[in-house]
Structure 1
Amino acid sequence: MPRTSDKADRFTESVIRETFRLAARYGAINLGQGFPDHPCPPELKAAACAAIEADDNQYPMTFGTPQLRAAIAVKTARTYPGWEIDPDTELCVTCGATEALVAVTFALLDPGDEVVLFEPWYENYRPNAILAGAVPRLVRMHRPDWSFDEAELRAAFGPRTRAVFLCHPNNPTGKIYRAEELAVLAELCRRWDAVLVVDSIYEHIHYLGPGEYRPPALVPGLEDRTVTVNALSKTYAVTGWRVGWTVAPPRLTTAIRKVHDFLTIAAPAPLQAAGVAAMGLPASYYTQLAADYLERRDLLCDALERIGFDLRHPDGSYYVLCDTRPLDPSGDGVVFARRLITEIGVSCVPAASFWCPEHAASGRSMVRFAFPKRLETLRAAIERLEKLRI
């Protein structure tokens, strides 16, 4: 038989997407994959339809239409005063945040370079590093507040450190990194000449109040060495549209654009027009978004605690990690998650895949629930989950 690459043998397919298929097969309520089941803002649908009707159906400019890049720059400056982006030299529009992360990884890392990853992580980061031939250096976050040990972080850096990947707010833990933690990262990135890559796709989904979320690109010392990745997907409930972007200093953006060009050429033209409409939504949209997700967080987390799960209410994103051992002394999250799908009719994701194989025991008993759903969807799921108490 023809051989496959050694790189592809070093990671599995996405556990999240596998869970999605299993949930569909058994008709389970999907609280595993993080997609909203409510409609996107009507302004986005109108803009996309208008662009299609106007025959905006051909290749756009490879790294994003001028209109969308300008709108992203304006919206960013409006949201975070002092963050000024040059749309001509510091932005690259991509096919979602996933492609953006691949493009950034290939643009920054050569074989043998080292990349610092926090675990538990969003499952794409480690395979991306492996595909680039880079060496992951792992820093573990610890319960209950998912803090990291500063000495362990310092030990992960060295002469070959090229990049650090940070999901902020974090998936899967819901952690928002504190100012002092970002300051340590800034010091280490400067000392070792490393780039901080920030997956900020949940930037508007946090529950700590105004001003509590700080973009790392505004942290002193990180202004000229941060790549910020974002997308329409989560904020505007359009995870299937695949429109994302990167913000980075010009030299880094030039490299990212070249890699992006040969990965996907360009993001869908009519959906970039919808992105312009999204960037024009008022500040009240984001305030209401956070309030709506806070209601969903508290509804689901309170119910999960009542049923018997051990958890910490997340500070950001729309996921909650739960320890299953109070309900299942075997502590096998994979078996537990499958039982939920096949017997209870609710899906979640076994969390062991958010740790490297050597540290998988740290997440063996844990599962991740997602709550970007209508209230009636969550209530229906909770009604089924109550069977666990019997």
Structure 2
Amino acid sequence: MRRPYLNSRLAEFTSTIFAEMSALAAGTGAINLGQGFPDTDGPEAVREAAVRAIRDGRGNQYPPGPGVPELRQAIADHQRRFYGLEFDPDTEVLVTAGATEAIAAAMLALLEPGDEVIALEPYYDSYAACIALAGARRVPVTLRPHAGAYHLDPDELRAAITPRTRLLLLNTPHNPTGTVLTRAELAAVAELAVEHDLLVVTDEVYEHLVFDGAHLPPASFPGMRERTVGISSAGKTFSLTGWKVGWVTAPPELLAAVRSAKQYLTFVSAGPFQYAVAEALALPDAYYEGQREELRAKRDLLSAGLADAGFAVYRPAGTYFVTTDIRPLGEKDGLAFCRALPTRCGVVAVPTAVFYDDQEAGAPFVRFAFCKKDEVLREAAARLRAPA
């Protein structure tokens, strides 16, 4: 018999839930609250900076492999400005094609077949695929909902560590649950990482979209700077998701390893956009505060609408997303619910069961994105309140 064309490591990753739900939105004309992209563009000054770079011939040819110096310096300045973390822009900063490539490069660089990676569940779908591509094994530690939010149990994390554990993959602020790991939770993570000499890869793309509490970079905790690969991007912070400009900050030896893998993925990307993002990162505090307040209001608007429609709502502390429980509606299968919702109500959401290894644990939960215009959110809430 002919061997399957697709590599067996990717056999379970033939399509994403986002593609399926976006196709449903297009086919039914439903409001798409499934995929996390804004329906308005980022700051005009930043967009104009990209146009200016193109006109001036900056970045139209291959940029330097690690990223243009202006952006690497801006990233280092950003880490110092917001978190007091010092990084050498020449040896400790790498520009990538979004955070997704950064995660892939980190997994491919740092893992050997048979290594175990602990990831917080539910997890963004690319994590599982990247771990599989590296030939490693994912070990989920589940964030569990109670008292209106999701929480990490340090005892469950400790129990998941084995002699084969190589790496902890953290996401805070967390997609899809919207939780922001607390100082106590992160301190427990740091203690375990140091005790077991584990590498830590952190996805922090929603770092500036925190509405309750504060974002605390894991690299800022004792013993973590030398073992942490920090990842973020411009897409969510500046509402420019199509530009795909991300970055890695790490100690020189770790960064060199990630760069070795990254150079064989895209090599380089987004040349003119890199110059524009360098300018974006220097925007005044008023920009960051204003965007956060605008999204906090959108969170509250959609959360209230979902509660009025009968969902149990887990109000997020950060990100673009609000998670709901559909059991008060008399439903229990989130996947079937989301597949029927566009026809029933004209709204698209995403079932979070697809982000769990234990799909039963995620079965009744559904995620909605609120990074949309207020009138879109109001219309979606009205449709969900209407009788099916």
Q: Please classify the TM superposition score into its range, dividing by the shorter chain length.
A: over 0.9
Equivalent residue of 2:222, what SS? Answer: coil
Partner of 1:69: 72
Q: Give, in angstroms, the shift of residue 343 of structure 1.
A: 2.6
Equivalent residue of 2:283, what SS? Answer: coil
Q: Partners in 2 of 1:74 and 1:140 — Cα distance?
A: 34
Q: Partners in 2 of 1:5 and 1:338 — Cα distance?
A: 29
Partner of 1:179: 183
In the TM superposition, what are the counterparts of 1:136-215 in structure 2 within 5 Å? Answer: 136-144=138-146, 145-209=149-213, 212-215=214-217
In the TM superposition, what are the counterparts of 1:226-305 in structure 2 within 5 Å? Answer: 226-305=228-307
Q: What fraction of aligned residue pairs are identical, expressed as a percent?
A: 44
Asked if structure 1 preserves the Cα contact closer than 8 Å seen for 2:205 and 2:236, the reply is: yes
Per-residue CA deviation, residues 192-225 of structure 1 (Å, 9 max, x unaligned), is 211111110000111125xx22111111121111
Relative to the length of structure 2, the TM-score reads: 0.96
In the TM superposition, what are the counterparts of 1:53-68 in structure 2 within 5 Å? Answer: 53-56=55-58, 57-68=60-71
Q: Partners in 2 of 1:272 and 1:18 — Cα distance?
A: 31
Q: Give, in angstroms, the shift of residue 340 of structure 1.
A: 1.5
Q: Give, in angstroms, the shift of residue 19 of structure 1.
A: 0.9
Asked if structure 2 preserves the Cα contact closer than 8 Å seen for 1:38 and 1:237, the reply is: yes
- The answer to whether residue 361 in structure 2 is matched with residue 362 in structure 1 is yes
Q: Partners in 1 of 2:297 and 2:239 — Cα distance?
A: 17
Partner of 1:328: 330
Asked if structure 1 preserves the Cα contact closer than 8 Å seen for 2:143 and 2:151, the reply is: yes
Q: Give, in angstroms, the shift of residue 28 of structure 1.
A: 1.1
- Counterpart amino acid of 2:64? M
Partner of 1:338: 339
- Counterpart amino acid of 2:364? S
Per-residue CA deviation, residues 138-195 of structure 1 (Å, 9 max, x unaligned), is 2111112322332221111122211111110000111111111111111111122111
Equivalent residue of 2:226, what SS? Answer: coil
In the TM superposition, what are the counterparts of 1:10-159 in structure 2 within 5 Å? Answer: 10-56=12-58, 57-80=60-83, 82-144=84-146, 145-159=149-163
- Counterpart amino acid of 1:112? G
Q: Give, in angstroms, the shift of residue 328 of structure 1.
A: 3.2
Q: Give, in angstroms, the shift of residue 287 of structure 1.
A: 0.7
Q: Give, in angstroms, the shift of residue 298 of structure 1.
A: 0.4
Number of corresponding residues: 383
Equivalent residue of 2:90, what SS? Answer: coil
Equivalent residue of 2:118, what SS? Answer: strand
- Counterpart amino acid of 1:20? S
Per-residue CA deviation, residues 266-317 of structure 1 (Å, 9 max, x unaligned), is 1211111111111111011111111111100000001101110012111111
Q: Which segment is superposed worse, 18-27 or 165-174?
A: 18-27
Partner of 1:352: 353
Asked if structure 1 preserves the Cα contact closer than 8 Å seen for 2:92 and 2:250, the reply is: yes
* Structure 2 portions without partners, runs of 5+: none
Q: Give, in angstroms, the shift of residue 12 of structure 1.
A: 4.2
- The answer to whether residue 371 in structure 2 is matched with residue 372 in structure 1 is yes
Equivalent residue of 2:139, what SS? Answer: strand
- Which stretches of structure 1, 4 residues or more, deviate above 6 A after TM superposition? none
Asked if structure 2 preserves the Cα contact closer than 8 Å seen for 1:107 and 1:255, the reply is: yes
Equivalent residue of 1:11, what SS? Answer: coil
Q: Partners in 2 of 1:74 and 1:251 — Cα distance?
A: 21
Asked if structure 1 preserves the Cα contact closer than 8 Å seen for 2:178 and 2:316, the reply is: yes
Q: Output the aligned Cα RMSD.
A: 1.3
Q: Partners in 1 of 2:57 and 2:153 — Cα distance?
A: 54
Equivalent residue of 1:17, what SS? Answer: helix
Q: Give, in angstroms, the shift of residue 2 of structure 1.
A: 4.7
Per-residue CA deviation, residues 201-250 of structure 1 (Å, 9 max, x unaligned), is 000111125xx221111111211111111111101001111110011111
Relative to the length of structure 1, the TM-score reads: 0.95
Q: Give, in angstroms, the shift of residue 17 of structure 1.
A: 2.5
Per-residue CA deviation, residues 96-148 of structure 1 (Å, 9 max, x unaligned), is 01011000111111101111111111111111111101111221111123223
Asked if structure 2 preserves the Cα contact closer than 8 Å seen for 1:328 and 1:336, the reply is: no
Asked if structure 2 preserves the Cα contact closer than 8 Å seen for 1:158 and 1:192, the reply is: no
- Counterpart amino acid of 1:64? G
